[in-house]
Structure 1
Amino acid sequence: MTENYYKWHSPNLGKEFEMLVFGDSGYPLLLFPTSMGRYYESKDRGLIDAIRWFIDEGRVKVYCPDSIDASSWYNKNIPPAYRAYNHTCYDKLLMEEILPRMEAETGKQRIVAAGCSFGGYHAANFAFRHPASVSYLFSLSGIFDIKPRMDGYYDDQVYFNNPADFMPNNQDADLWRMGIVLGTAETDVTRPHNEHFSRILAAKNITHWLDIRPHAMHDWPVWREMLPHYLSLIK
Protein backbone atom coordinates (compact mmCIF):
# COMPACT_ATOMS: atom_id res chain seq x y z
CA MET A 1 0.00 0.00 0.00
CA THR A 2 1.47 3.30 -1.11
CA GLU A 3 1.74 5.93 1.61
CA ASN A 4 2.79 9.52 0.93
CA TYR A 5 3.36 12.37 3.38
CA TYR A 6 2.80 15.98 2.34
CA LYS A 7 3.63 19.20 4.13
CA TRP A 8 3.17 22.68 2.72
CA HIS A 9 2.58 26.27 3.72
CA SER A 10 -1.16 26.90 3.55
CA PRO A 11 -2.02 30.41 2.36
CA ASN A 12 -5.51 30.02 3.83
CA LEU A 13 -4.22 29.17 7.31
CA GLY A 14 -0.99 31.14 7.16
CA LYS A 15 0.99 28.20 8.55
CA GLU A 16 2.33 24.75 7.72
CA PHE A 17 -0.17 21.97 7.07
CA GLU A 18 0.29 18.19 6.91
CA MET A 19 -1.52 15.29 5.26
CA LEU A 20 -1.09 11.56 4.61
CA VAL A 21 -2.32 9.94 1.39
CA PHE A 22 -2.82 6.21 0.92
CA GLY A 23 -3.12 4.43 -2.42
CA ASP A 24 -2.40 5.13 -6.07
CA SER A 25 -5.82 5.31 -7.68
CA GLY A 26 -9.55 4.99 -7.10
CA TYR A 27 -12.39 7.08 -5.74
CA PRO A 28 -10.97 10.01 -3.73
CA LEU A 29 -11.84 9.68 -0.04
CA LEU A 30 -11.36 12.68 2.27
CA LEU A 31 -11.08 11.08 5.72
CA PHE A 32 -11.17 13.48 8.68
CA PRO A 33 -9.70 12.71 12.12
CA THR A 34 -11.66 12.83 15.37
CA SER A 35 -11.71 15.87 17.67
CA MET A 36 -8.28 17.53 17.68
CA GLY A 37 -6.92 14.41 15.96
CA ARG A 38 -3.89 14.50 13.70
CA TYR A 39 -3.44 13.47 10.09
CA TYR A 40 -1.91 10.13 11.17
CA GLU A 41 -4.73 9.16 13.55
CA SER A 42 -6.64 6.95 11.10
CA LYS A 43 -3.45 5.01 10.41
CA ASP A 44 -2.49 4.68 14.08
CA ARG A 45 -6.02 3.60 15.09
CA GLY A 46 -6.24 0.85 12.48
CA LEU A 47 -8.86 2.50 10.30
CA ILE A 48 -6.58 2.50 7.26
CA ASP A 49 -5.83 -1.21 7.77
CA ALA A 50 -9.57 -1.84 8.02
CA ILE A 51 -10.06 -0.47 4.49
CA ARG A 52 -6.74 -1.70 3.10
CA TRP A 53 -8.41 -4.03 0.59
CA PHE A 54 -10.17 -1.09 -1.07
CA ILE A 55 -6.86 0.79 -1.25
CA ASP A 56 -4.84 -2.17 -2.55
CA GLU A 57 -7.47 -2.94 -5.19
CA GLY A 58 -7.45 0.65 -6.44
CA ARG A 59 -11.03 1.25 -5.33
CA VAL A 60 -10.22 4.30 -3.19
CA LYS A 61 -7.37 6.73 -2.70
CA VAL A 62 -7.48 8.07 0.87
CA TYR A 63 -6.54 11.61 1.84
CA CYS A 64 -6.09 12.17 5.60
CA PRO A 65 -5.78 15.89 6.35
CA ASP A 66 -4.72 17.33 9.67
CA SER A 67 -7.33 19.08 11.80
CA ILE A 68 -7.18 22.57 13.24
CA ASP A 69 -9.80 21.92 15.95
CA ALA A 70 -7.40 23.14 18.63
CA SER A 71 -7.36 26.51 16.85
CA SER A 72 -11.05 26.62 16.00
CA TRP A 73 -14.04 24.91 17.63
CA TYR A 74 -12.08 23.57 20.62
CA ASN A 75 -10.09 26.72 21.39
CA LYS A 76 -11.69 28.21 24.50
CA ASN A 77 -8.89 30.77 24.75
CA ILE A 78 -10.15 32.84 21.82
CA PRO A 79 -13.55 34.49 21.26
CA PRO A 80 -16.19 32.28 19.60
CA ALA A 81 -16.24 34.51 16.50
CA TYR A 82 -12.57 33.71 15.91
CA ARG A 83 -13.23 29.98 16.37
CA ALA A 84 -15.80 30.09 13.58
CA TYR A 85 -13.56 32.27 11.41
CA ASN A 86 -10.64 29.85 11.79
CA HIS A 87 -12.82 26.96 10.73
CA THR A 88 -13.96 28.93 7.69
CA CYS A 89 -10.28 29.28 6.76
CA TYR A 90 -9.94 25.50 7.14
CA ASP A 91 -12.89 24.99 4.81
CA LYS A 92 -11.17 27.20 2.24
CA LEU A 93 -8.01 25.11 2.61
CA LEU A 94 -10.03 21.97 1.85
CA MET A 95 -11.70 23.51 -1.18
CA GLU A 96 -8.76 25.43 -2.62
CA GLU A 97 -5.71 23.39 -1.64
CA ILE A 98 -6.77 19.76 -1.13
CA LEU A 99 -9.79 19.19 -3.37
CA PRO A 100 -7.94 20.27 -6.56
CA ARG A 101 -5.15 17.77 -5.73
CA MET A 102 -7.70 15.01 -5.23
CA GLU A 103 -9.38 15.76 -8.55
CA ALA A 104 -6.08 16.02 -10.43
CA GLU A 105 -4.71 12.76 -9.02
CA THR A 106 -7.85 10.63 -9.41
CA GLY A 107 -9.67 12.20 -12.33
CA LYS A 108 -12.84 12.43 -10.23
CA GLN A 109 -14.69 15.71 -9.85
CA ARG A 110 -16.72 14.54 -6.88
CA ILE A 111 -15.34 12.85 -3.78
CA VAL A 112 -16.27 10.78 -0.74
CA ALA A 113 -16.27 12.65 2.59
CA ALA A 114 -16.00 10.56 5.76
CA GLY A 115 -14.96 10.79 9.38
CA CYS A 116 -15.49 9.36 12.85
CA SER A 117 -16.90 11.23 15.84
CA PHE A 118 -16.03 14.93 15.40
CA GLY A 119 -14.58 13.91 12.06
CA GLY A 120 -18.13 12.92 11.17
CA TYR A 121 -19.13 16.54 11.80
CA HIS A 122 -16.35 17.72 9.51
CA ALA A 123 -17.36 15.30 6.77
CA ALA A 124 -21.03 16.24 7.00
CA ASN A 125 -20.37 19.96 7.17
CA PHE A 126 -18.07 19.82 4.15
CA ALA A 127 -20.46 17.63 2.15
CA PHE A 128 -23.54 19.71 2.85
CA ARG A 129 -21.72 23.00 2.25
CA HIS A 130 -20.30 21.76 -1.06
CA PRO A 131 -22.69 19.11 -2.40
CA ALA A 132 -21.56 19.64 -6.01
CA SER A 133 -18.14 18.31 -4.95
CA VAL A 134 -19.29 15.30 -2.88
CA SER A 135 -20.82 12.07 -4.20
CA TYR A 136 -20.94 10.19 -0.90
CA LEU A 137 -21.05 11.16 2.77
CA PHE A 138 -20.21 8.58 5.41
CA SER A 139 -20.58 10.12 8.87
CA LEU A 140 -19.56 7.65 11.59
CA SER A 141 -20.90 8.68 15.00
CA GLY A 142 -20.88 12.31 13.93
CA ILE A 143 -22.67 15.35 15.28
CA PHE A 144 -24.36 18.07 13.27
CA ASP A 145 -24.79 20.98 15.67
CA ILE A 146 -21.75 23.07 16.60
CA LYS A 147 -23.59 25.59 18.76
CA PRO A 148 -22.64 23.95 22.10
CA ARG A 149 -19.04 24.97 21.39
CA MET A 150 -19.95 28.62 20.78
CA ASP A 151 -20.70 29.78 24.35
CA GLY A 152 -23.98 31.29 23.16
CA TYR A 153 -22.39 33.25 20.30
CA TYR A 154 -24.02 33.08 16.87
CA ASP A 155 -23.32 34.68 13.50
CA ASP A 156 -23.42 33.78 9.81
CA GLN A 157 -20.16 31.85 10.01
CA VAL A 158 -21.62 29.69 12.76
CA TYR A 159 -24.85 29.22 10.81
CA PHE A 160 -23.13 28.17 7.59
CA ASN A 161 -20.96 25.66 9.46
CA ASN A 162 -23.87 24.20 11.40
CA PRO A 163 -25.70 21.57 9.32
CA ALA A 164 -28.51 21.24 11.86
CA ASP A 165 -29.36 24.88 11.13
CA PHE A 166 -28.57 25.47 7.47
CA MET A 167 -29.75 22.16 6.03
CA PRO A 168 -33.51 22.74 6.46
CA ASN A 169 -33.15 25.74 4.11
CA ASN A 170 -30.59 24.17 1.76
CA GLN A 171 -32.16 23.54 -1.65
CA ASP A 172 -29.04 22.64 -3.61
CA ALA A 173 -30.12 20.02 -6.14
CA ASP A 174 -26.92 18.03 -5.66
CA LEU A 175 -28.08 17.03 -2.17
CA TRP A 176 -30.64 14.72 -3.75
CA ARG A 177 -28.00 12.80 -5.71
CA MET A 178 -25.57 12.27 -2.83
CA GLY A 179 -25.21 8.86 -1.19
CA ILE A 180 -25.57 9.54 2.55
CA VAL A 181 -24.97 7.23 5.49
CA LEU A 182 -25.40 8.36 9.08
CA GLY A 183 -23.73 5.66 11.13
CA THR A 184 -24.11 5.38 14.88
CA ALA A 185 -24.45 2.67 17.52
CA GLU A 186 -27.05 1.45 19.98
CA THR A 187 -25.38 3.02 23.04
CA ASP A 188 -23.52 5.75 21.15
CA VAL A 189 -23.65 9.20 22.73
CA THR A 190 -24.26 10.58 19.23
CA ARG A 191 -27.27 8.38 18.52
CA PRO A 192 -29.84 11.11 19.38
CA HIS A 193 -27.95 13.58 17.15
CA ASN A 194 -28.06 11.15 14.23
CA GLU A 195 -31.72 10.32 14.75
CA HIS A 196 -32.58 14.03 14.84
CA PHE A 197 -30.57 14.79 11.72
CA SER A 198 -32.13 11.81 9.94
CA ARG A 199 -35.51 13.44 10.55
CA ILE A 200 -34.22 16.68 9.00
CA LEU A 201 -33.15 14.80 5.87
CA ALA A 202 -36.37 12.79 5.76
CA ALA A 203 -38.42 16.00 5.94
CA LYS A 204 -36.64 17.10 2.76
CA ASN A 205 -37.12 13.69 1.09
CA ILE A 206 -33.35 13.25 0.88
CA THR A 207 -32.57 9.56 0.61
CA HIS A 208 -30.17 8.33 3.27
CA TRP A 209 -29.45 5.40 5.56
CA LEU A 210 -29.53 5.79 9.34
CA ASP A 211 -27.37 2.83 10.39
CA ILE A 212 -27.68 2.04 14.12
CA ARG A 213 -25.29 -0.78 15.03
CA PRO A 214 -26.64 -3.05 17.79
CA HIS A 215 -24.62 -3.92 20.90
CA ALA A 216 -22.00 -1.27 20.10
CA MET A 217 -20.80 2.06 21.47
CA HIS A 218 -18.93 5.21 20.45
CA ASP A 219 -15.48 3.75 19.79
CA TRP A 220 -12.99 2.64 17.16
CA PRO A 221 -14.02 -1.05 16.91
CA VAL A 222 -17.43 -0.18 15.47
CA TRP A 223 -15.94 2.45 13.15
CA ARG A 224 -13.47 -0.12 11.81
CA GLU A 225 -16.50 -2.28 10.95
CA MET A 226 -18.59 0.55 9.53
CA LEU A 227 -16.20 2.16 7.06
CA PRO A 228 -15.40 -0.94 4.94
CA HIS A 229 -19.13 -1.68 4.80
CA TYR A 230 -19.92 1.84 3.62
CA LEU A 231 -17.13 1.86 1.03
CA SER A 232 -18.62 -1.32 -0.45
CA LEU A 233 -21.72 0.73 -1.32
CA ILE A 234 -19.83 2.99 -3.75
CA LYS A 235 -20.94 2.38 -7.32
Structure 2
Amino acid sequence: MEIQYYRQYSHKLNRDMEWKVYGHGGRPVLFIPCQDGRFFDFENFHMTDVWAPWIDAGQVMVFSIDTIDTETWSNSQGDPRWRICRHEQWIAYITDEMVPFMRNMVNERNGWTGYPDVIVFGCSLGAAHAANLYFRRPDLFDGLLALSGIYTAGYGFGSYMDELVYNNSPVHYLANMPADHPYIDLYNKKKAIICAGQGPWELPDSTRELDGILKSKGINAWVDYWGFDCSHDWYWWYRQVEYFVPHLLGRPGAAESNM
Protein backbone atom coordinates (compact mmCIF):
# COMPACT_ATOMS: atom_id res chain seq x y z
CA MET A 1 0.00 0.00 0.00
CA GLU A 2 1.37 3.39 -0.97
CA ILE A 3 1.40 5.80 2.00
CA GLN A 4 2.40 9.45 1.88
CA TYR A 5 2.78 11.95 4.71
CA TYR A 6 2.19 15.70 4.35
CA ARG A 7 2.68 18.69 6.60
CA GLN A 8 1.65 22.07 5.23
CA TYR A 9 0.68 25.47 6.54
CA SER A 10 -3.07 26.17 6.54
CA HIS A 11 -3.98 29.77 5.86
CA LYS A 12 -7.50 29.08 7.15
CA LEU A 13 -6.24 27.86 10.52
CA ASN A 14 -2.97 29.82 10.71
CA ARG A 15 -1.03 26.73 11.70
CA ASP A 16 0.60 23.67 10.18
CA MET A 17 -1.70 20.75 9.49
CA GLU A 18 -0.72 17.14 8.92
CA TRP A 19 -2.33 14.34 6.95
CA LYS A 20 -1.62 11.02 5.31
CA VAL A 21 -2.73 9.60 1.98
CA TYR A 22 -3.28 5.88 1.50
CA GLY A 23 -3.42 4.44 -1.99
CA HIS A 24 -2.27 5.01 -5.54
CA GLY A 25 -5.51 5.67 -7.42
CA GLY A 26 -9.29 5.72 -7.35
CA ARG A 27 -11.95 7.90 -5.80
CA PRO A 28 -11.04 10.31 -2.99
CA VAL A 29 -12.19 9.41 0.53
CA LEU A 30 -11.80 11.88 3.40
CA PHE A 31 -11.46 10.24 6.83
CA ILE A 32 -12.41 12.32 9.89
CA PRO A 33 -10.92 10.83 13.09
CA CYS A 34 -12.86 10.28 16.30
CA GLN A 35 -13.08 12.96 18.97
CA ASP A 36 -9.73 14.74 19.54
CA GLY A 37 -8.26 12.39 16.94
CA ARG A 38 -5.15 12.74 14.83
CA PHE A 39 -4.34 12.04 11.21
CA PHE A 40 -2.47 8.83 12.09
CA ASP A 41 -5.50 7.22 13.79
CA PHE A 42 -6.70 5.66 10.51
CA GLU A 43 -3.49 3.65 10.48
CA ASN A 44 -2.84 3.20 14.19
CA PHE A 45 -6.35 1.83 14.82
CA HIS A 46 -5.91 -0.55 11.84
CA MET A 47 -8.65 0.93 9.70
CA THR A 48 -6.11 0.69 6.87
CA ASP A 49 -6.39 -3.10 7.10
CA VAL A 50 -10.15 -2.96 6.64
CA TRP A 51 -10.00 -0.56 3.68
CA ALA A 52 -6.99 -2.36 2.15
CA PRO A 53 -8.98 -4.35 -0.47
CA TRP A 54 -10.32 -1.15 -2.04
CA ILE A 55 -7.11 0.85 -1.53
CA ASP A 56 -4.85 -1.84 -3.00
CA ALA A 57 -7.23 -2.36 -5.93
CA GLY A 58 -6.95 1.31 -6.84
CA GLN A 59 -10.61 2.00 -6.14
CA VAL A 60 -10.02 4.63 -3.45
CA MET A 61 -7.38 6.94 -2.07
CA VAL A 62 -8.01 7.71 1.61
CA PHE A 63 -6.93 11.08 2.99
CA SER A 64 -6.75 11.02 6.81
CA ILE A 65 -6.62 14.46 8.42
CA ASP A 66 -6.34 16.04 11.86
CA THR A 67 -9.22 17.28 13.97
CA ILE A 68 -8.97 20.38 16.15
CA ASP A 69 -11.64 19.13 18.58
CA THR A 70 -9.49 19.95 21.60
CA GLU A 71 -9.92 23.63 20.66
CA THR A 72 -13.58 23.40 19.71
CA TRP A 73 -16.04 20.62 20.53
CA SER A 74 -14.10 19.23 23.48
CA ASN A 75 -13.08 22.61 24.91
CA SER A 76 -16.07 22.78 27.25
CA GLN A 77 -14.56 25.55 29.42
CA GLY A 78 -13.80 27.80 26.47
CA ASP A 79 -15.87 30.68 25.14
CA PRO A 80 -18.53 29.05 22.92
CA ARG A 81 -18.50 31.80 20.30
CA TRP A 82 -14.72 31.56 19.89
CA ARG A 83 -14.93 27.77 19.75
CA ILE A 84 -17.57 27.68 17.01
CA CYS A 85 -15.70 30.34 15.01
CA ARG A 86 -12.59 28.19 15.27
CA HIS A 87 -14.58 25.16 14.14
CA GLU A 88 -15.78 27.14 11.12
CA GLN A 89 -12.14 27.80 10.25
CA TRP A 90 -11.55 24.02 10.32
CA ILE A 91 -14.54 23.52 8.01
CA ALA A 92 -13.05 26.11 5.66
CA TYR A 93 -9.68 24.34 5.86
CA ILE A 94 -11.36 21.17 4.62
CA THR A 95 -13.55 22.70 1.92
CA ASP A 96 -11.12 25.35 0.62
CA GLU A 97 -7.74 23.69 1.13
CA MET A 98 -8.02 19.92 1.57
CA VAL A 99 -10.71 19.21 -1.03
CA PRO A 100 -8.79 21.05 -3.80
CA PHE A 101 -5.61 19.18 -2.77
CA MET A 102 -7.49 15.87 -2.90
CA ARG A 103 -9.04 16.64 -6.28
CA ASN A 104 -5.71 17.62 -7.80
CA MET A 105 -3.99 14.53 -6.47
CA VAL A 106 -6.60 12.02 -7.63
CA ASN A 107 -6.82 13.73 -11.02
CA GLU A 108 -3.06 13.39 -11.43
CA ARG A 109 -3.00 9.77 -10.27
CA ASN A 110 -5.98 8.65 -12.35
CA GLY A 111 -5.45 10.81 -15.42
CA TRP A 112 -8.76 12.54 -14.73
CA THR A 113 -9.83 16.10 -15.32
CA GLY A 114 -12.54 18.16 -13.69
CA TYR A 115 -13.71 18.23 -10.11
CA PRO A 116 -14.18 14.75 -8.63
CA ASP A 117 -16.47 14.71 -5.62
CA VAL A 118 -15.32 13.29 -2.30
CA ILE A 119 -16.68 10.51 -0.09
CA VAL A 120 -16.51 11.52 3.58
CA PHE A 121 -16.23 8.90 6.35
CA GLY A 122 -16.06 9.03 10.12
CA CYS A 123 -16.89 7.24 13.36
CA SER A 124 -18.24 8.71 16.60
CA LEU A 125 -17.66 12.49 16.59
CA GLY A 126 -15.90 11.95 13.28
CA ALA A 127 -19.23 10.72 11.94
CA ALA A 128 -20.92 13.89 13.19
CA HIS A 129 -18.35 16.02 11.39
CA ALA A 130 -18.59 13.87 8.27
CA ALA A 131 -22.37 14.11 8.12
CA ASN A 132 -22.22 17.86 8.69
CA LEU A 133 -19.80 18.28 5.78
CA TYR A 134 -21.94 16.11 3.51
CA PHE A 135 -25.22 17.88 4.29
CA ARG A 136 -23.70 21.38 4.23
CA ARG A 137 -21.72 20.93 1.03
CA PRO A 138 -23.32 18.44 -1.36
CA ASP A 139 -21.53 20.32 -4.13
CA LEU A 140 -18.25 18.86 -2.79
CA PHE A 141 -19.21 15.55 -1.18
CA ASP A 142 -21.06 12.82 -3.05
CA GLY A 143 -20.92 10.01 -0.49
CA LEU A 144 -21.22 9.64 3.28
CA LEU A 145 -20.41 6.83 5.68
CA ALA A 146 -21.25 7.93 9.23
CA LEU A 147 -20.93 5.34 12.01
CA SER A 148 -22.10 5.91 15.61
CA GLY A 149 -22.47 9.67 15.28
CA ILE A 150 -24.35 12.32 17.26
CA TYR A 151 -25.97 14.81 14.92
CA THR A 152 -26.76 17.73 17.18
CA ALA A 153 -24.26 20.44 18.07
CA GLY A 154 -25.63 20.28 21.60
CA TYR A 155 -23.08 17.50 22.19
CA GLY A 156 -20.27 20.06 22.00
CA PHE A 157 -22.01 23.32 22.86
CA GLY A 158 -24.76 22.41 25.30
CA SER A 159 -27.56 24.98 25.38
CA TYR A 160 -25.53 27.65 23.59
CA MET A 161 -26.92 28.47 20.15
CA ASP A 162 -26.02 31.05 17.53
CA GLU A 163 -26.06 31.06 13.74
CA LEU A 164 -22.75 29.20 13.46
CA VAL A 165 -23.70 26.50 15.96
CA TYR A 166 -26.99 26.12 14.08
CA ASN A 167 -25.10 25.69 10.80
CA ASN A 168 -23.11 22.83 12.34
CA SER A 169 -26.09 20.98 13.80
CA PRO A 170 -27.70 18.77 11.10
CA VAL A 171 -30.83 17.98 13.11
CA HIS A 172 -31.51 21.72 13.33
CA TYR A 173 -30.78 22.98 9.83
CA LEU A 174 -32.18 19.93 8.04
CA ALA A 175 -35.40 20.11 10.06
CA ASN A 176 -35.91 23.66 8.79
CA MET A 177 -34.85 23.04 5.20
CA PRO A 178 -37.63 24.09 2.78
CA ALA A 179 -39.21 21.30 0.77
CA ASP A 180 -38.08 22.93 -2.48
CA HIS A 181 -34.48 23.53 -1.41
CA PRO A 182 -32.14 22.58 -4.29
CA TYR A 183 -29.89 20.60 -1.94
CA ILE A 184 -32.57 17.93 -1.53
CA ASP A 185 -32.30 17.00 -5.20
CA LEU A 186 -28.51 16.95 -4.84
CA TYR A 187 -28.68 14.63 -1.82
CA ASN A 188 -30.93 12.26 -3.71
CA LYS A 189 -28.37 11.91 -6.49
CA LYS A 190 -25.74 10.78 -4.01
CA LYS A 191 -25.25 8.04 -1.41
CA ALA A 192 -25.50 8.54 2.35
CA ILE A 193 -25.10 5.63 4.75
CA ILE A 194 -25.68 6.31 8.45
CA CYS A 195 -25.42 3.53 11.02
CA ALA A 196 -25.74 3.21 14.79
CA GLY A 197 -25.49 0.27 17.10
CA GLN A 198 -27.79 -0.19 20.08
CA GLY A 199 -25.30 -1.67 22.52
CA PRO A 200 -22.91 -0.25 25.15
CA TRP A 201 -21.89 3.40 24.78
CA GLU A 202 -23.95 3.88 21.62
CA LEU A 203 -26.49 6.72 21.42
CA PRO A 204 -28.86 5.66 18.65
CA ASP A 205 -31.54 8.20 19.55
CA SER A 206 -29.58 10.90 17.71
CA THR A 207 -29.53 8.72 14.59
CA ARG A 208 -33.26 8.06 14.97
CA GLU A 209 -33.93 11.80 15.19
CA LEU A 210 -31.90 12.44 12.05
CA ASP A 211 -33.57 9.50 10.32
CA GLY A 212 -37.03 10.94 10.99
CA ILE A 213 -36.02 14.34 9.66
CA LEU A 214 -34.56 12.85 6.48
CA LYS A 215 -37.72 10.85 5.85
CA SER A 216 -39.93 13.89 6.45
CA LYS A 217 -37.94 15.90 3.89
CA GLY A 218 -37.84 13.15 1.27
CA ILE A 219 -34.06 12.88 1.56
CA ASN A 220 -32.86 9.43 0.60
CA ALA A 221 -30.35 7.78 2.92
CA TRP A 222 -29.69 4.27 4.13
CA VAL A 223 -30.05 4.54 7.90
CA ASP A 224 -29.27 1.23 9.57
CA TYR A 225 -29.53 0.11 13.19
CA TRP A 226 -27.38 -2.75 14.41
CA GLY A 227 -28.17 -4.93 17.40
CA PHE A 228 -27.90 -4.57 21.15
CA ASP A 229 -24.55 -6.38 21.04
CA CYS A 230 -23.10 -3.66 18.79
CA SER A 231 -21.03 -1.33 20.98
CA HIS A 232 -19.29 1.99 20.37
CA ASP A 233 -15.98 0.44 19.42
CA TRP A 234 -13.54 -0.08 16.57
CA TYR A 235 -14.34 -3.79 16.30
CA TRP A 236 -17.88 -2.96 15.19
CA TRP A 237 -16.80 -0.10 12.95
CA TYR A 238 -14.51 -2.54 11.11
CA ARG A 239 -17.44 -4.85 10.51
CA GLN A 240 -19.66 -1.99 9.37
CA VAL A 241 -17.03 -0.73 6.92
CA GLU A 242 -16.72 -4.22 5.43
CA TYR A 243 -20.50 -4.35 5.05
CA PHE A 244 -21.24 -0.86 3.76
CA VAL A 245 -18.28 0.13 1.56
CA PRO A 246 -19.21 -2.21 -1.32
CA HIS A 247 -22.61 -0.48 -1.46
CA LEU A 248 -21.03 2.97 -1.15
CA LEU A 249 -18.65 2.33 -4.05
CA GLY A 250 -21.20 0.55 -6.21
CA ARG A 251 -23.25 2.10 -8.95
CA PRO A 252 -26.15 4.40 -7.93
CA GLY A 253 -29.10 2.31 -6.82
CA ALA A 254 -26.97 -0.75 -6.11
CA ALA A 255 -27.38 -0.53 -2.34
CA GLU A 256 -30.45 -1.12 -0.30
CA SER A 257 -33.70 0.08 -1.82
CA ASN A 258 -34.29 2.67 0.90
CA MET A 259 -31.08 4.58 0.18
Band the TM-score falls in, shorter-chain normalisation:
over 0.9
Asked if 1 retains the 8 angstrom alpha-carbon contact of 2:188 and 2:220, the reply is: yes
Is residue 199 of structure 1 aligned with residue 206 of structure 2? no
Report the counterpart of residue 186 of structure 2 in structure 1: 174
Is residue 227 of structure 1 aligned with residue 247 of structure 2? no
1:106: how far off? 1.7
Matched pairs, number: 235
Asked if 2 retains the 8 angstrom alpha-carbon contact of 1:10 and 1:93, the reply is: yes
In the TM superposition, structure 1's runs of 4+ consecutive aligned residues that sit over 6 Å from their partners are none
3-state SS in 2 of match to 1:126: helix
1:36: how far off? 0.2
Counterpart of 2:45, as a letter, is R
Report the counterpart of residue 22 of structure 1 in structure 2: 22
Report the counterpart of residue 132 of structure 2 in structure 1: 125
Alignment RMSD, CA only? Answer: 1.2
Asked if 1 retains the 8 angstrom alpha-carbon contact of 2:9 and 2:17, the reply is: yes
3-state SS in 2 of match to 1:194: helix
Structure 2: runs of 5 or more not aligned: 108-114, 251-259
Alpha-carbon distance in structure 1 between the residues aligned to 2:21 and 2:10: 17
Alpha-carbon distance in structure 2 between the residues aligned to 1:209 and 1:148: 23
Q: State percent identity of aligned pairs.
A: 27
Counterpart of 1:218, as a letter, is H
Is residue 156 of structure 1 aligned with residue 169 of structure 2? no
Asked if 1 retains the 8 angstrom alpha-carbon contact of 2:27 and 2:60, the reply is: yes
Tell me whether 220-229 or 61-70 shows the greater mean CA deviation.
220-229
Tell me whether 153-162 or 210-219 shows the greater mean CA deviation.
210-219
Q: TM-score, length-normalised on structure 2?
A: 0.87
Counterpart of 1:67, as a letter, is T
Asked if 1 retains the 8 angstrom alpha-carbon contact of 2:76 and 2:157, the reply is: no
Q: TM-score, length-normalised on structure 1?
A: 0.96
Report the counterpart of residue 33 of structure 2 in structure 1: 33
Is residue 100 of structure 1 aligned with residue 113 of structure 2? no
Deviations along 1:157-201, one digit per CA (max 9) or x if unpaired, are 001111110112332131221211111113152211111111111
Structure 1: runs of 5 or more not aligned: none
1:229: how far off? 2.2
